[in-house]
Amino acid sequence: MNSVYLDNAATTALRPEVVKRMTQVLNETYGNASSSHSFGRSSKVLLEQCRKDIARYFKVSASEIVFTSGGTEADNLALRSAVRDLGIKEIITSRIEHHAVLHTVEQLEKEYAITLKYVDLDECGRVNYTHLEELLQAADQPLVSLMHVNNEIGNILDLKRVAELCKSYKALFHSDMVQSIGHYQIDLEAISVDFMAASAHKFHGPKGVGFCFIRKESGLKPLIFGGEQERGYRAGTEAIHNIVGMAEALKLAYDNLEVEKQYILELKTYFVEALKKELPKTSFNGRCESQEDSTFTLLNVCLPIAPEKASMLQFQLDLKGIACSRGSACQSGSNQQSHVLTAILDVEQLKQPSVRFSFSIFNTKDDVDYVIDVLKAFTTA
């Protein structure tokens, strides 16, 4: 049986170079970075070098990079601390954010009685920038939280435009960039984002590590108390091997960005063309088939499969060795539908099974051909 992994938006395989580097650190540099002896100093040197290397890619100061356990913690650090410490009274977000943001702001609304507002989206899930400006005009001490690349349908936010709007209305701007870091060049010197979240396992790094960008002199205070690690923002002994693995993965991602981006884009385009040819009634959720409006790393497709068969689709794909994610929960037997697709599709569209296929450098056209054959056979059976 073939084995095809097309769920890279969920997590990616480690690059061999990353595994090698992490193994070396695990074997050789095991001191606590807070210790004053030579073993600790060796770890501290590695830690701070990784911080400097990561900061350089985004044209920020090393002191503005805080290592976390991943994107969810980074989102919580920025959002919860901003409300608690910076006097934020209103958060403006969208209904298609990652749950790391949505559930956090919903909880903040309960705990701190902040005002929570949602910007309008068009039928493809794109932000209505005119409505965003109207919300900012009427807001009292606001923070805007909008993700750069949507993890389900791939929509790309105009970061610079939102940052400029926020600056004009003296609003803070937080962006979950988990799906874009390592895939896009992001200049935080030119784009006035205040807080940003990233996670290593989305760009072929290890799980359990990420970072939060916190613009200097923001006034943010820690969520996790204890030692003085991470300049007091995040207490706890740093996992040096994970941080080194993340820095190595990010270096490889940006060193090879243009070549790998072109390769993955060609793969995605090949998949789109094959779907249109072999399953012509397939529709594309959001604007994911577009090269301009959506990320090159994923497709979210609504397949022409009868509702009575839809419940078996994910199971059949798994049986055939194909790993992907359901976009709508209709085919899974769950009562919980995708909140992203629910926000942009109508009732009839939601009855059709939607699937997210997400790509990496480790995928091939043979993978695509196999998936198309399996989908075609299941659809026509």
Together in a domain, 333 and 365: yes
The verdict on 117 and 161 lying in the same domain is: yes
* pLDDT of 306: 81
What's the longest Cα–Cα distance across the chain? Answer: 68
pLDDT of residue 155: 97
Residue that is last in its domain, among 223, 255, 287? 255
- Residue 6 within any structural domain of the chain: no
219 and 266 part of one domain: no
Q: How high is the pLDDT of residue 22? A: 98
Pairwise CA distance, residues 310 & 322, whole Å: 16
Q: Which of 196, 226, 255 is the last residue of a domain?
A: 255
Residue 249 and residue 262 share a domain = no
Q: pTM higher than 0.85 for the full model?
A: yes
Q: Tell me: do 340 and 204 sit in the same domain.
A: no
pLDDT along the chain (381 residues), means of 10: 94 98 97 95 97 98 97 98 96 98 98 98 97 97 98 97 98 98 98 98 98 94 89 92 98 98 98 96 94 94 86 92 73 66 89 94 98 93 75
Asked whether residue 1 is domain-assigned, the answer is no
Q: Are 20 and 206 in contact (CB under 8 A)?
A: no
95 located within any domain: yes
2 located within any domain: no
- Catalytic residue numbers? 330
pLDDT of res. 6: 98
Are 218 and 105 in a shared domain?
Answer: yes
Write down which residue in 221, 255, 289 finishes a domain.
255
Query: Whole domain around residue 315: which residue ranges?
Result: 256-380
CA distance 344 to 283: 13
Convert the chain into a string of H (helix), E (strand) and C (coil).
CCCEECECCCCCCCCHHHHHHHHHHHHHCCCCCCCCCHHHHHHHHHHHHHHHHHHHHCCCCHHHEEEECCHHHHHHHHHHHHHHHCCCCEEEECCCCCHHHHHHHHHHHHHHCCEEEECCECCCCCECHHHHHHHHHHCCCEEEECCCECCCCCEECCHHHHHHHHHHCCCEEEEECCCCECCECCCCCCCCCCEEEEEHHHCCCCCCCEEEEECCCCCCCCCECCCCHHHHCECCCCCHHHHHHHHHHHHHHHHCHHHHHHHHHHHHHHHHHHHHHHCCCCEECCCCCCCCCECCCEEEEECCCCHHHHCCHHHHHHHCCEECEECCHHHHCCCCCCHHHHHHCCHHHHCCCEEEEECCCCCCHHHHHHHHHHHHHHHHC
Interatomic CA distance for residues 66 and 60, integer angstroms: 12
249 in the same domain as 197: yes
Domain count, the chain: 2
CATH number of domain containing 111: 3.40.640.10
Does residue 11 lie within any of the structural domains?
A: no
